[in-house]
Structure 1
C-alpha cells in the first residue's frame, strides 16, 4: 500500500523528464493531495500554491522509517542530499553539542513538518540527529529530484527554494533572539556575582 502512496509511482516517470507525465501519475491520488496540502501548511512551506505543491510532490518519493531508526545523524557528511516531509508519525530532533555526552532533545516534529531542508540546499554536515519516535511515513525530495525540477520547471523550483530560504530565515531569527536572551541572562548573572556581598 505504501509503495503506491502517490498513485502510479511517480518515480517510474523519472525516465521521462516530461513534467506533465509526472503530474498525470498523481491523478486521483488522495495521498498525493494530502502530501501537497501538508507541504503548504503553516508548519512547512506555505508560500507555494496547491498546484505548485503538487508539482513538487511529483518529484518526491514515498519513504517509510521504522520506529527507533536514526535516519539523520548529527555531523554526517554522507547523507545530506534529501529533505523529508513527515506525513504520519513523529520524529525526535536531538543534539549533543550542548552537553557533549548525552543527547539533548531540541524538539519533536509531527505530520506536516519538513526535516533536512538545509542539507538539501547546501550539502553541509547535518546539524542535528533525527530519530523516528514512531513508525514514520514521509515523502523525500532528493537533491537529484530538485535538480530535475529545476530543469523541468524552473519557476516552481525557484519558488520552492525561496520558501525553504524564508523558513530558514525565520529559524535563524529565532536563534538570534534566543542568543540575545542568553547573553542578557549571562551578563545579569555575572553582574550579580561581581557585586560585593554585604557582611
Structure 2
C-alpha cells in the first residue's frame, strides 16, 4: 500500500522507506506508544515505516472506508470526526504529536470507525497492514510488543469512553 498514490495530499518525506535512518528512529522513540522500546527494536520497526507529510485539510482516512494502515503523528495535529445519523460530521477529539491514529485497521481489518482530517500540516509515520504482517513473519517478538502496546492503548480508550458514557445514563 502506497498512500501517496492512493490518497491525494500524501507526500513522501525523504526517500520514503529508505528515509529510515536516525530520523525515523528518533521520531518513533519520541512517541508515547513506542518510547520504551529498546533501541534495536525501534531500528527494526523503523525499517517497516514510511514517512509522509500531509497538508492542512487533507483527509487521512474516511469513516466507512477499508483501512490498511495506522499512523504515528510526529508533527502537527489531526481531528477525528464521527458522522451522526443525519450525516453531519462532529469532531470528537484532536490528536497531536506522539499519538497514533487508525490502529484498529491493522488489527481487525474492519472499515474505519471515524474520519481523520489534518488540522494543520502534519508528518505521519505509516505502518501498513501488509508491513505489520511482514513484521509478524520476520520479527515475531517485535510484532508481539506492538500488539501488546496497541491492546493497552485500545483498552485505555475504551475505559475512557465507558467513563464518559456513564454521564448519559
Q: Which interval holds the TM-score relative to the shorter structure? A: 0.7 to 0.9
Root-mean-square deviation over aligned CA pairs: 2.0
Correspondence for 1:190: none
Query: 3-state DSSP class of the match of 1:151?
Result: helix
Query: 3-state DSSP class of the match of 2:57?
Result: coil
2:4 pairs with 1:37: no
2:63 pairs with 1:74: yes
2:14 pairs with 1:3: yes
Correspondence for 1:120: 106
Moved more, 61-70 or 140-149: 61-70
Mind listing any 5+ residue stretches in structure 2 that lack a counterpart?
Answer: 1-11
2:74 pairs with 1:87: yes
State the structure with more CA Rg. 1
Deviation at 1:136, TM superposition (A): 1.4
Correspondence for 2:3: none
Of 38, 41, 62 in structure 2, the residue corresponding to residue 52 of structure 1 is 41
Of 147, 150, 169 in structure 2, the residue corresponding to residue 161 of structure 1 is 147
Contact 1:91 1:134 in 2 (8 A): yes
Partners of 2:59 and 2:70 in 1: CA distance:
14
Partners of 1:49 and 1:106 in 2: CA distance:
33
CA distance 1:45–1:175, shift in 2 (3 Å): farther
Of 142, 148, 163 in structure 2, the residue corresponding to residue 177 of structure 1 is 163
Higher strand share: 2
Partners of 2:27 and 2:57 in 1: CA distance:
23
Partners of 1:175 and 1:157 in 2: CA distance:
27
Mind listing any 5+ residue stretches in structure 1 that lack a counterpart?
Answer: 11-24, 184-199
Deviations 1:116-170 (A, max 9, x none): 0001111111111111111111110001111111111100111101110110011
